[in-house]
Amino acid sequence: MRYLPNTEADRREMLAAIGLESVEELFSDIPEAVRFKGRLELPEAMSELELRRHMAELASGSSDLDRFACFLGAGAYDHFIPSVVGHILSRAEFYTAYTPYQAEISQGVLQSIYEYQTMICRLTGMDVANASMYDGATALAEAGLMTTGITRRKALVISSTVHPEYREVVKTYAGGADIEVREVPYTDGVTDLDALQKAVGQDTAGVLIQHPNFFGNLEPVSDIGGVAKEAGALFVPCVDPISLALLRAPADYGADIVVGEGQPLGNPVSFGGPYLGFFAARQKFMRRMPGRIVGATVDAEGKRGFVLTLQTREQHIRRERATSNICSNEALCALAATVYLSLMGPSGLRGVAEQCLKKSHYTLERLLEIPGVTREFSAPFFKEFVVRVEADPDTVNERLYERGIIGGLNLGRFYPELDGCMMFCVTEKRTGAEIEDLVEVIRGCVR
């Protein structure tokens, strides 16, 4: 079958097949006055070699994380990705069969998702995980909706130390369901417990926090969970999966539902997506979870197999019974996370987390040696921290960019009271030389 008419004879043959004599007849329903006349101003076709050179020239004008040292985090993190992750993802059996629409014959994809779910459960300490969500923000919003369905209450309490964009997504979801969202302020970079106590009441379905929070600080999670439990609300932390190699598992401090952004696990920054949200909960809440859950079973011959155990979205079941309108799982991104975690193992993941912790604290120490740079919060932190700089943050970032460094986040964009503050992230990829370059440029900016 010909897909492109390469000759006049081809064109005539294709037109005849649909009962037309000319290409113009295809557009007969379009008024003559609005039809385009002449030729489009498009470049001539290129050979493959010419096109590769042209695309390389265009790409050379953009910055990327292979050539720039990145100290920007705030939800998207520049972690090392072993090359084997991309190699496995590129295999046709995974790359093309990304979602198991025909579950019985999609055993490879189902097994990879099952392994992913198992790893998320081991990281979080929870009983069950689903087959991933769109991203961390929607995972948190779905968790909020799930708490209202379980408790039959209509209010959510969320800390202002949760990622600002995550909070906006939660509010968007809640608005359509007529759910009240109450924000709790922070003190010294962590959730204000007194304000939290006042905000949580008998109408509160869930208490939503981030740990480490948006500022990188460690929240008093046991105290926050206690406040939630006392009011009969569910406790939902949004966590950094890398941090779980060092910090207590959420199940150990009373979490009912655990969500987070899985991008740090073998997925590139990629201009903000595609990412994957992980979602785990206690077993008693399993039938309230959104999306899909893959389970293990045996076939008629007693051989191990995998099935879609739960399919709670409206595509599979009656609309009124659906727990969510989530439309897909991020299976390819989840596979990347699975391969990454398999390669790293518990000790490797712990090594990555320890390097993030040590390098970020070292970077802060070096920056605090600069007159005009002060630490904004005293709370313990993992890999991100906030400093106040006696210089315009945007100017600082422009100077850093000229040096081949992607600088920190200007927090005044999201928190007016933190105007003049910058948040830096230091992952295991940052070298001593890159840290010294960062310090040198900032020292020159605050003189």
Closest CA to 408 of 391, 416, 353: 391
Identify the helix (H) or strand (E) that includes residue 396.
helix 393-402
**Residue given tokens 């009271």 in the structure block:** 417
| pTM across the whole model | 0.87
Residue that is written with structure tokens 């961390």 in the block = 136
Three-state secondary-structure class, residue 88: helix
Residues 6+ apart with CB under 8 A from 422: 386, 387, 388, 389, 393, 396, 407, 408, 409, 410, 411
Residues 321, 364 within the same domain: no
Phi-psi region of 27 (alpha: psi -120 to 50; beta: other; left: phi over 0): alpha
Same domain, 209 and 329: yes
In this structure, what token pair is assigned to residue 160? 């202002």
Within-domain flag for 119: yes
Asked if residues 250 and 234 have their Cβ atoms less than 8 Å apart, the reply is: no
Which domain CATH number covers 413? Answer: 3.90.1150.10
Q: Which residues pair with 305 in a beta bridge?
A: 297
Do 177 and 313 lie in a common domain? yes
Please report, as a single letter, which amino acid is at residue 338.
Answer: T
Bond into 250 cis (ω within 30): no
- Residue 391: what pLDDT? 95
Residue 217 and residue 257 share a domain: yes
Cβ(420)–Cβ(393) under 8 Å?
A: yes
For residue 133, give Cα distances in angstroms to 185, 264, 292, 320, 420.
28, 15, 9, 21, 35
Residue-by-residue pLDDT tens, the chain, 447 positions: 445 556 778 888 888 899 888 888 888 889 988 888 888 888 888 999 999 999 999 888 888 888 899 999 999 999 999 999 999 998 887 776 566 666 667 888 889 999 999 999 999 999 999 998 999 999 999 999 999 999 999 999 999 999 999 999 999 999 989 999 999 999 999 999 999 999 999 999 999 999 999 999 999 999 999 999 999 999 999 999 999 999 999 999 999 999 999 999 999 999 888 999 999 999 999 989 988 889 999 988 999 999 888 875 555 556 666 666 666 668 899 999 999 999 999 999 999 999 999 999 999 999 999 999 999 999 999 999 999 999 999 999 999 999 999 999 999 999 999 999 999 999 999 999 999 999 999 999 987
> In this structure, what token pair is assigned to residue 129?
């995980």
Helix-strand-coil split of the chain, %, nearest 5: 45, 20, 40
Q: 362 and 262, same structural domain?
A: no
Note whether 161 and 238 are same-domain residues. yes
Q: 199 is written with which tokens?
A: 């905000």
Question: Under DSSP, is residue 344 helix (H, G, I), strand (E, B) or coil?
Answer: helix
Q: What is the pLDDT at residue 5?
A: 54
Residue 3 in domain: no
Q: 249 and 295 share a domain?
A: yes
pLDDT of the residue at 96: 67
Do you know the residue count of the chain?
447
State the DSSP H helix or E strand holding residue 260, giving kind and residue range, or none if neither. strand 257-261
* 180 and 118 belong to one structural domain: yes
Which domain-ending residue is among 341, 363, 389? Answer: 341
Statement to judge: residues 94 and 157 lie in one domain: yes
Six token digits for residue 176 = 């359509």
Q: Are residues 91 and 173 in the same domain?
A: yes
The three-class DSSP label of residue 372 is: coil
What CATH number is given to the structural domain containing 220?
3.40.640.10
Decide the pairing of beta strands 204-211 and 234-239: parallel
* 354: its two tokens: 């320890």
Does 128 share its domain with 75? no
Residue 212: cis peptide before it, omega within 30 degrees of 0: yes
List C-alpha distances in Å: 93 to 98, 275, 298, 328, 372.
Answer: 8, 21, 23, 19, 55
Among 217, 234, 216, smallest CA distance to 225 is for 234
Total structural domains in the chain? Answer: 3
Domain containing residue 397: 69-80+350-445
Q: Using CA of residue 414, residue 420, residue 424, residue 430, what is the dihedral sign?
A: positive
